[in-house]
Structure 1
């Protein structure tokens, strides 16, 4: 079947939704392909027609959120001094609004593939603006792609720490701390 077939899109949407619902409810490693299939209303073999394994499905389900998060990170005016930029606050708000899922995906029993994909997406989005000179002053001796990977790793680390706080501080507060560290 061609990739633009409505049945394929519908089935994949059902599978992604089921995977996210289950991964948000409990440890993603404990979620089985059979449970995802049952919640999506398809048989187990159908999952393997569309995805290599459970992690591949969960990663695909999170891809839209990853892209949104990376785009917010790239919108920050890193070179300009001043108060915490709204896109950085929006970045943490995005994570905060999806806290149960991000907490599970980034936590000790989370998905290493998700962490790696998130870091890579953040670094890729930041590399362009950083190469164009939109990065904090004083870092010109560091290649832009290395700087982008540094900031991406720091953001993933901050998300992980922040989501582990009980209760997590407000998004605006952690964004202000992140801004001070990035600057």
Structure 2
């Protein structure tokens, strides 16, 4: 007789479903790196993935959902780099870890420009805001545990995330992209000032 106290088994995803979604995510990222987001359709993704268009809708409700899902690994990598950075506090120079964040974005600059630019994806921007705010909140909560002050941490997390995304968008949409190392220094100073007001 099975043990009723045993943990429930995780639902196994059919390997064909995983393969199809992987093909769709890859196709969406390739197209997003080549074309403005507004010029891409589900038909383009289906064609690039060599999948029937109706099949795309079995996995994703719309094109934006697909692209945000496709960018999840990229965003996870970006937030993992941010997690290694100290929070800007207006003291000291720009940490090397912060420059790594900008180098990471620079390595995928076309994709980030398309996703965060004027014709980009609002869902992508919202997802980035969520992830960065959660990371900042986690750091602030750890620091507050020592001072016993948890007031306004969620608001401060979103304030810091919004400032970071604003700096990132400014950099990516500038006519000439300055090198990541230079931008990291400028951004660190700007965010240090913002952090004091959040």
TM normalised by structure 1 equals: 0.89
CA distance in 2, matches of 1:176, 1:18: 35
What is the alpha-carbon distance in structure 2 between the residues aligned to residue 162 and residue 120 of structure 1?
20
Matches within 5 A, 1:77-88: 77-78=86-87, 81-88=91-98
Q: CA deviation at 1:77?
A: 1.5
Aligned counterpart in structure 2 of residue 31 of structure 1, from 24, 34, 40:
40
Query: Which 5+ residue runs of structure 1 have no aligned equivalent?
Result: 135-139
Q: Answer yes or no: is the 8 Å Cα contact 1:119–1:152 preserved in 2.
A: yes
Shift of 1:181: 2.0
In the TM superposition, what is the alpha-carbon distance from 1:180 to its structure 2 partner? 1.1
Alignment of 1:1-183 (within 5 A): 4-78=13-87, 81-133=91-143, 143-183=152-192
Which has more radius of gyration? 2
What is the CA–CA distance in structure 2 between the aligned matches of 1:96 and 1:87, rounded to whole Å? 14
Cα-to-partner distance string for 1:33-71 (whole Å, 9 max, x where unaligned): 011001001100110111111000000001111111122
3-state SS of the aligned residue for 2:71? helix
Deviation at 1:6, TM superposition (A): 1.6
Q: 1:145 to 1:25 in 2, by over 3 A?
A: same
With normalisation by structure 2, the TM-score equals 0.83
Aligned length: 177
Determine the C-alpha separation between the residues in 1 that align with 2:191 and 2:64.
32
